[in-house]
A and B are shown apart, each in its own frame.
Chain A
């Protein structure tokens, strides 16, 4: 049986798919986005978070069976509202086998995943096939910039996106608007280009960032070094997407 590590389970999460949802945050991410507001999702192992004299252990290890049993406690509520479970992260692809095994035990409950697309092709294919909806978090189209700000190359991401499009899988693209980094007209234009073409794309969600993003770093013994002005309003430019007839919302 597979085991996995989560760093949070959020009940009644509002922005992770249809209906009432439970979002399971998988711990561990191969990227290091400069703006990441979930640094407790970086490391795959459990950790201690220290904040205001209070200590909290971050991360919970589960067997797929245990997680299935936990979800089952509220499955009726999720199902009756037309909702389900969303696996997010961290990076869900990094624990693909565990998530897959869990999904198999959910009796057809609606499942979504939220991924950066940075993971092996085989994991990506297996997981996206098993779910009903994919949230694809896009960051930077420029390969150099992607490497600089997330620590990794984006060619794998692009390839996975192409695959997803070709499968006509229902998906929602999300772009966190980071001032001067991801929100530039150039980047948005280029990402719109990535998304253009036949696919199951439902819409693009542009997320304006939360200025308290760095809040958790210190408590994990890390330093938040944003290479952008946290308090600057992002460039919420929907034009590139509208031009290509892609439904876009700002959240």
Chain B
């Protein structure tokens, strides 16, 4: 980094920008509260929020936008909101940044105007388009105040830029990044988990323009991109998430274009370098790869992996694209996929999927079946009970979800591909995809439990059903030997165990069956089963968890009450594992053409892995292997357990230690203790 960007980073870490913050109470007139549509209401709220923001010009910053309002308070709600239950606000999706940048908000405003004429007889469309225009104007009004403030602060260089964007099409890389920063930050005024999409694609024309016209050298351009990355770490404490860091600012690099042509470019490399240099938790980098990804690119990616930030996360195009097609996405759209927040595949500008409505609790589905069926009939009967339980969970989640209303979002709609043209809100027909996703949690533990039961109780008959049930009810008390036997056995996912792998594959098969049998999700979409866990690896282990997902006590894989599950796809914590190859091989067997909501195989490498340059090549070869054997997604974390232990004891000394939590990275010392413990306990492969 340059001294300037290093200072910008330090300022954020020191939270200097918090000095400009205050809380604001929004007030509404009776007429405003009496609006007849939610579109209008949402545009009014955005307008008020934008007006409440005061431009902040921080010394040395070249990309502007700092939140001056910590929290917006308002308790009066309009009449149209009464009786509505909004489960999900648009989040975990991705705008059509390419279009938003190139048209500019004024260009988009023109489109809205044109649509108003076209849909002059359609009141719903009129109402939506009016609200969209009002939202655009609100954002532009804030931008114009930023221009004045920049001028007043003696930064007429920046004033010129922010007078031009986000209204008009950027004329340079600097303007493109400023425009993106501005619109992206405004989305966070009402939404969360705002994806950044295929950054190395939509920024490329501006980058090349500047290089070709000698406006910037590569180094200068890189500095600016570093600054953009650094700026994404500002104000993230205001973005809602389960833990600090869980904010969905993911960007995707590499892959193919809509026609299938590989599009790795100089910016792909530059972004990975910049992320490595910046060394902060945002943005989260995802890299699309396939069988033919050049070794050099993987090597560059591994250098970023070595940083220990937990990214890039690798997505295998060879698996993801065909699966999306099979799930009803057009081939062009499938090729254009991005990662929404943690890992969910989503189409920028076109997908209004809700990829995380719930987490399927595999352990509960298996455990309930074991407790109800063991010893009664054959193993296949028990299996059928598991399948039924899985199906019941899926149906319950969909039933619950169907009671939710979806609030219109005029400004997000503006930034999507077709909403303005169609005169329809993002949530009401403006997008092409309205699918739901359900995470698939605790799969390894559940598979191990089934494998143990099949082998010990049904095949060998070395354990009686009564004995196993007693052990489960008593949390293994008095059955320590049995527990040890099960934990130490080779019948585990990640351990080249045919039986455990077969159970894993079956579980996901039943999950897919259940989702497919539900068919329509009530919004004109389908249900995508996934392999991620999000925070459910913690929640589902807690017998007192009050969410809609069923929890468990002790489980037949040898797990005791309260012990956490693995995060996304990883062997059961504490299980015997053959090693990384075994883990990849187990998880490569899942039929990802039916399981396509995302959720990475998660491996922890010890930081001692990287002793010399050759090691980079080897880890790159491992990533190739991951792609070659048909896995879907991979997250590689580099951990030094001793350092984590120290950090827990002396948080003040480790303020900047970053760890990967699930689909996001966070500062270790800011995590709740149970999340810290889970990270320390993860299976680390010392190689």
Contact = CB atoms under 8 A, between A and B. Distances in A.
Interface string A181-225: 000000000000000000000000000000000000000000000
B618 A22 contact: no
B618 A19 contact: yes
B484 A55 contact: yes
Interface in B468-515: 484, 488, 496
Contacts of A82: 621
Contacts of A229: none
Contacts of B496: 70, 73-74
Nearest to B582: A11
A122 interface: no
Given A12-B581, A20-B581, A55-B484, A81 B624 contact: yes
A77 B582 contact: no
A20 B581 CA distance: 9
A74 B618 contact: no
A102 B622 CA distance: 25
Interface in B609-659: 609, 611-612, 614-615, 618, 621-622, 624-625, 628-629
Contacts of A56: 488
Interface in A76-134: 77, 80-83
A14 B580 contact: no
A251 interface: yes
Interface in B599-613: 609, 611-612
A17 to B, nearest CB: 10
Contacts of B628: 77, 80
B579 A73 contact: no
Nearest to B621: A81
Interface in B91-119: none
Interface in A34-91: 55-57, 70, 73-74, 77, 80-83
B585 A74 contact: yes
Nearest to A11: B579
A20 B579 contact: no
Contact of B625 (A55, A77, A249): A77
A14 B625 contact: no
A12 B622 contact: yes
Nearest to A78: B581
A239 interface: no
Contacts of B484: 55
A60 to B, nearest CB: 10
A10 interface: yes
B618 A14 contact: yes
A13 interface: yes
Nearest to A20: B621
Contact of B687 (A14, A55, A80, A251): A14
A11 B578 contact: yes
B594 to A, nearest CB: 24
Contacts of B685: 12
Interface string A1-37: 0000000011111110001101000000000000000
Contacts of B580: 11-12
A56 B575 CA distance: 12
A20 B618 contact: yes
Interface in B556-601: 578-582, 585
Nearest to A249: B612
Contacts of A11: 578-582
A165 B614 CA distance: 26
A56 B488 CA distance: 8
Interface in A212-251: 249, 251
Nearest to A13: B687
A77 B629 contact: yes
B285 to A, nearest CB: 23
A228 to B, nearest CB: 22
Most B C-beta atoms less than 10 A away, residue of A11, A19, A57: A11
A66 B376 CA distance: 36
B585 A20 contact: no
Give the size range of A's interface with the partner: 20 to 34
Contacts of B488: 56-57
B294 to A, nearest CB: 15
Interface string B68-91: 000000000000000000000000
Contact of A81 (B585, B614, B625, B687): B625
B120 to A, nearest CB: 63
Nearest to B498: A73
A251 B608 CA distance: 11
A10 B579 contact: yes
Nearest to A14: B687
A70 B495 CA distance: 11
A84 to B, nearest CB: 13
Contact of A73 (B585, B614, B618, B621): B585
Contacts of A83: 621
A20 B614 CA distance: 11
Contacts of B615: 14
Given A14-B609, A15-B611, A74 B581 contact: yes
Contacts of B687: 10, 12-15
A74 B583 CA distance: 11
Interface in B5-63: none
Nearest to A56: B488
A213 B496 CA distance: 30
Nearest to A205: B612
Contacts of B625: 20, 77, 80-81
Contacts of B629: 77
A11 B612 CA distance: 19
Nearest to B611: A251
Nearest to B614: A14
Nearest to B628: A80
A12 B624 contact: no
B86 to A, nearest CB: 47
A22 B687 CA distance: 10
A22 to B, nearest CB: 7
Contacts of B581: 11-12, 20, 22, 74, 77
Nearest to B612: A251
Contacts of B582: 11, 74
B113 to A, nearest CB: 58
A19 B621 contact: yes
A12 B612 contact: no
Contacts of B624: 81
B585 A12 contact: no
A43 B526 CA distance: 59
Nearest to B496: A73
Nearest to B618: A14
Contacts of A22: 581
A80 B621 CA distance: 9
Nearest to B576: A56
A154 to B, nearest CB: 28
A74 B494 CA distance: 13
A70 B579 CA distance: 13
B626 to A, nearest CB: 10
Contacts of B578: 9, 11
B680 to A, nearest CB: 14
Contacts of B612: 249, 251
B233 to A, nearest CB: 33
B361 to A, nearest CB: 28
A57 B578 CA distance: 15
A20 B624 CA distance: 11
A73 B582 CA distance: 9
Given A73-B585, A251-B612, 14 more contacts: A9-B579, A11-B581, A12-B581, A14-B611, A14-B618, A15-B611, A15-B687, A19-B618, A20-B618, A20-B621, A20-B625, A22-B581, A77-B581, A77-B625
8 contacts: A20-B581, A74-B581, A74-B585, A80-B628, A81-B621, A81-B622, A249-B612, A251-B611
Interface of B: 484, 488, 496, 578-582, 585, 609, 611-612, 614-615, 618, 621-622, 624-625, 628-629, 685, 687
3 residue pairs, one from A and one from B, having the closest CB atoms: A11-B579, A11-B581, A81-B621
